[in-house]
Amino acid sequence: MIEKPTNDRSSRRAFLESAGVAAVTSSLLPGWLAATQAGTKEKPAKVRPPKIKIGQIGVGHAHASKLAIYRQSEDYEVVGVVESDPELRQKATTQELYRGLTWMTPDQLLNVSGLQAVLVETQVRDLLNTAEKCVAAGKHVHIDKPAGESLSQFRRILDTAGQQRLLVQMGYMFRYNPAVVLLREFLKQGWLGDIFEIHTVMSKVVDPASRRRLAEYRGGIMFELGCHVIDLVIGILGKPTAVTPYFQHAASNEDTLSDNMLAVLTYARAIASVKSSALEFDGGNRRHLVVCGSEGTFHIQPLDNPSATVTLSKRRGDYQQGPQTVSFPKYERYVADAADMAQIIRGEKSSDFPYAHDLTVQTTLLQACGFPPG
């Protein structure tokens, strides 16, 4: 479970104010998360553990630039990078992100002495094959999203990782968003009552070249973007009893991309809708997650630079009855994920997202993209 600072209210408030989260007076944000997002007051120096040796395979994923987080972190030593595609590698060598790194073959990287973890940042079609090779070599992995189209292969990777007690961390970018962390605390406390509805939207405008690439995948924009918010829904409600996908090609062009997608996730006492479009101008500002319960509603919008409107049936902790706006520090993707990975590898905590969660997310995503239940 997510670790929390002290339960003393005045201490929590002082901690949060020092982290620049003055409006979230009872949020119980994990200390390491608040620190990575906003910084804390200077603390006495302590001896740091040895850096974790990590490498990256692939530069072709849209989120491959997260390598910068690991290069800047005091927790990691980036020992090398791999890219088999000559064109992608040549382009990468001109970028500051990769400057000074050693380029290797996959086998060379996996045989670096002391290597503990690998960032799998290939193009989507190669994610699972690459991750499977890394796990077979006994390495922890961060796999970018989505986890391919083969549920059986993903299940095999998780099984192999479990046998070796290896971390498989998925690259869903809102897991440690401070508004999402606060939402989890509300749910843990039961402050929203019985959850009966979730509505979430994840959209943007996709350029013509990217549209053609995404059209290769069944489910189109749901596969590419909707996966991020499906991860959130599963974290709240768990495995759905049914998933109903709705497909549409709405653009007036000749590609075949499913660019206007909806999935309805049905539960015994709740319904969740997941909407994703490749057409929405300034769609980032309307990316949102709304969770409705019998005792309150928690609405995060936008997701990337979060703000939340919380409406409660009665006072809960430091939160008043009725509507209120909660502000958060600026959110930088993957900083907290990297910090969390370091803690898990060092045995300081267990994963907040076990194998079963990731398997349910992937199963639900594929069903939302029209694949048969697996």
Q: Write the CATH number for 154.
A: 3.40.50.720
Determine the pLDDT at residue 44: 64
Confidence label for 34 from pLDDT (cuts 50, 70 and 90): low
The boundaries of the domain holding residue 299 are 174-368
CA separation for the pair 352, 350 (Å, rounded): 6
Establish if 324 belongs to a structural domain: yes
CA separation for the pair 289, 200 (Å, rounded): 4
Contact 70, 119 (CB under 8 A): yes
220 & 93 share domain: no
Side chain identity, residue 274 = V
234 & 276 share domain: yes
238 & 310 share domain: yes
Q: Is the model's pTM score more than 0.85?
A: yes
Determine the pLDDT at residue 275: 98
Q: Is a pLDDT exceeding 80 seen at residue 278?
A: yes
Look up residue 168 and give its two tokens: 């498989």
Establish if 35 belongs to a structural domain: no
- CATH of residue 210's domain is 3.30.360.10
Q: Is a pLDDT exceeding 70 seen at residue 365?
A: yes
- Name the CA radius of gyration of the chain, rounded: 21
Q: Write the pLDDT tens digit of every residue in 312-349.
A: 999 999 999 999 999 998 899 999 999 999 999 999 99
Q: Which of 127, 154, 170 is the last residue of a domain?
A: 170
Confidence label for 17 from pLDDT (cuts 50, 70 and 90): very low
**Kind plus residue range of the DSSP H or E element containing 327:** strand 322-327
Over the range 334-343, which residues count as b (16 or more CB within 10 Å of their CB) and which as e? bbbbbbbbbe
Determine the pLDDT at residue 27: 41
Confidence label for 13 from pLDDT (cuts 50, 70 and 90): very low
Coil vs helix vs strand at 5:
coil
Determine the pLDDT at residue 10: 43
CB atoms within 10 A of CB 212: 14
Look up residue 37 and give its two tokens: 């997002």
Q: Is a pLDDT exceeding 50 seen at residue 210?
A: yes
